[in-house]
Structure 1
Amino acid sequence: MPRSVRIATVNVNGIRAAARNGMGAWVDASGADIITLQEVRGELEHLEAALPGWRVIADASLQKGRAGVAIASREECAISRIELGDDALESNGRWLEADFEFGGETLTVVSAYVFTGEADTPAKQDPKWAFLDAMERRLPELSADGGLAVVTGDLNVAHKPFDIRNWKGNVQKSGFLPRERAYFDRFLTPEGEPVTGQEGQGRGLGYERSDTRAFSKGATGLGWVDVGRAAAGEVDGPYTWWSMRGKAFDNDSGWRIDYHLASPALAPRASGYRVDRAPSYDTRWSDHAPVVADYALGE
């Protein structure tokens, strides 16, 4: 009989600060079997102190105090990997895969932290393009032959206008650039179907066919599913990140940039999606909210 496995993801904005500010209470109440974390900005010892009793694997950034991803689980993972792309790609502290066995089935869980980027600043935006290119190559490998996989984390792209409160004011900003969103169009178009983009190649949203190879002749979808959007439908939000400045949180002026992307074989098994938004500004322990979903696994 299948087992329900609960997976949560959260950008902790520094594991030590999150632990001091109340993350533990959320962990205890979450019911999660696996938690993926991004922007850890600490060492394995800090993660283990913040998550007592959990089995933790991590990949730290080469730049101390920056990035860092981790996966915490109640059960030991079978194997883990940190490679994404070739040696030229800056992926340290940004991509961590772990395989888990549930009732004879293997589930690959990824904790991903995509670069923030900065439009018109190649030194900051080019690494993001390279990372998204590597994701575009890796996703079909993870889903090949009916593979069960979920890519979770802070992907730093709001895919559609539903995913950002003030989308019109952000079309030319990293995180909502047409070219960034076009990658997600390809990731999330049904497998084998032509990639056409949003609103007829995004007229009014800044799309041009030259923006990305996702719109190149003959490009087809990879078939992955945005579990959050599938659950919520085409409505505003639910957002997962709000600036710490001003009244963004109180006014729910946020971005939905934290995801569960499920492989085609896993997506039909997803249920119970939710965003654990803090009840008030002063109870937040990160500028992101945890995103949670359940998956039926096991033969």
Structure 2
Amino acid sequence: MKLVSWNVNGLRACVNKGFNDYFAQMDADMFCLQETKLQDGQITMEIDSTYEQYWNYAEKKGYSGTAVFTRIKPLTVRYGLEEDHEPEGRIITLEFDKFYLVTVYTPNAKRDLSRLDYRLDWEERFRSYLQQLDALKPVVVCGDLNVAHQEIDLKNAKGNKTNSGFTPEERDKMTRLLDAGFLDTFRHFYPDQTDAYTWWSNMPKVRERNVGWRIDYFLASARLAPSLVDARIDAAILGSDHCPIVLELDEKKLAESSDSGLINQ
């Protein structure tokens, strides 16, 4: 089973920069998007009709938004955290037979950290939500989590220690999420790989020199570890200031992991 996640930073613009070619090439079972920046009816996707489409639009035009295209029909679909709605369109949860898939676009603390308190409260609620799901079935989480967790996850750690996305508070929330029973799948396979980034500033030559941050993730319930086949970063794919990330799962082992009992018992 192949899953793809991509912060497209405006889907209409990304479609004009090769999105459909990449989508067709990947032939994914599930393809998740963040920062679609769309309202209902503003785009018609020219993709294989075998995909179900689920969209969560932000109330504010041209802002945030998430989407999931899946060839496997979900049992249930939920939009948001505590309620089946949230104004910024940041979360979609699909329930399948053996696991939950959550795609998320985590709020940015902003350059001046004016939204840091909101961000930290949101992180608490998000972790609680994932733990509630994980108590029922294993969870796969993907998306732009807007944090470089460790110094290895960005090019210039020393110069960014007080900047949005690398503050001690944001990094601590990520640590607490992983400690709650989740794996960073890329680091599961490649714990020491350097220069592995998913986002680059639009400043001149930054991407060319690979001065980036790894802020897009596939996380998975720890008990899914035996079903993980590979996690990778498609850094060569353009079309957004983020690149796509990919997770491959062994479906047979996924079923076994899902039936093996709850980690919290």
Normalised to the residue count of structure 1, the TM-score between the two structures is: 0.79
Compared CA separation, residues 162 and 121, structure 1 to 2 (3 A): closer
1:127 aligned onto 2:127: no
Contact kept? 1:90, 1:131, Cα under 8 Å: no
Contact kept? 1:90, 1:127, Cα under 8 Å: no
Compared CA separation, residues 50 and 242, structure 1 to 2 (3 A): farther
Structure 2 equivalent of residue 71 of structure 1: 68
Structure 1 equivalent of residue 34 of structure 2: 38
After superposition, the C-alpha distances for 1:68-96 in whole angstroms (9 at most, x for unaligned) are 01111122222101131369x96631111
Give the length in aligned residue pairs.
Answer: 252
Instruction: Indicate the SS of the match to 2:173.
Output: helix
Contact kept? 1:143, 1:264, Cα under 8 Å: no
After superposition, the C-alpha distances for 1:170-212 in whole angstroms (9 at most, x for unaligned) are 10011000011001111123xxxxxxxxxxxxxxxxxxxxxxx
Map 1:1-299 onto structure 2 (within 5 A).
Answer: 5-46=1-42, 48-53=44-49, 54-85=51-82, 92-101=88-97, 106-118=98-110, 120-122=112-114, 124-145=115-136, 147-189=137-179, 222-278=180-236, 284-298=238-252, 299=255
Give, in angstroms, the shift of residue 268 of structure 1: 2.6
Segments of 4+ moved more than 4 angstroms: none
Give, in angstroms, the shift of residue 162 of structure 1: 0.7
Counterpart CA distance in 2 for 1:50 and 1:64 is 22
Give, in angstroms, the shift of residue 234 of structure 1: 2.0
Give, in angstroms, the shift of residue 296 of structure 1: 2.0
Match of 1:271, as an amino acid? Answer: V
Give, in angstroms, the shift of residue 140 of structure 1: 1.2
Compared CA separation, residues 91 and 131, structure 1 to 2 (3 A): farther
Counterpart CA distance in 2 for 1:68 and 1:76 is 21
Structure 2 equivalent of residue 210 of structure 1: none
Contact kept? 1:41, 1:68, Cα under 8 Å: yes
Counterpart CA distance in 1 for 2:203 and 2:40 is 30
Instruction: Indicate the SS of the match to 1:185.
Output: helix
Counterpart CA distance in 1 for 2:42 and 2:186 is 30
Counterpart CA distance in 2 for 1:45 and 1:285 is 22
Contact kept? 2:39, 2:58, Cα under 8 Å: no
Aligned-pair identity (%): 33
Instruction: Indicate the SS of the match to 2:169.
Output: helix
Instruction: Indicate the SS of the match to 1:137.
Output: helix
Counterpart CA distance in 2 for 1:10 and 1:270 is 19
Counterpart CA distance in 1 for 2:11 and 2:112 is 31
Give, in angstroms, the shift of residue 30 of structure 1: 1.1
Give, in angstroms, the shift of residue 265 of structure 1: 2.0
Gaps of 5+ in 1: 190-221
Match of 1:49, as an amino acid? Answer: M
Gaps of 5+ in 2: 256-265
- Whichever of the two has the greater Rg, that structure is 1
Per mean C-alpha deviation after superposition, the further-off stretch among 44-53 and 223-232 is 44-53
Match of 1:107, as an amino acid? Answer: F
Normalised to the residue count of structure 2, the TM-score between the two structures is: 0.88
Counterpart CA distance in 1 for 2:226 and 2:165 is 28
Counterpart CA distance in 1 for 2:67 and 2:83 is 21
Compared CA separation, residues 75 and 241, structure 1 to 2 (3 A): same
Q: RMSD of aligned C-alpha atoms?
A: 2.0
Counterpart CA distance in 2 for 1:258 and 1:50 is 25
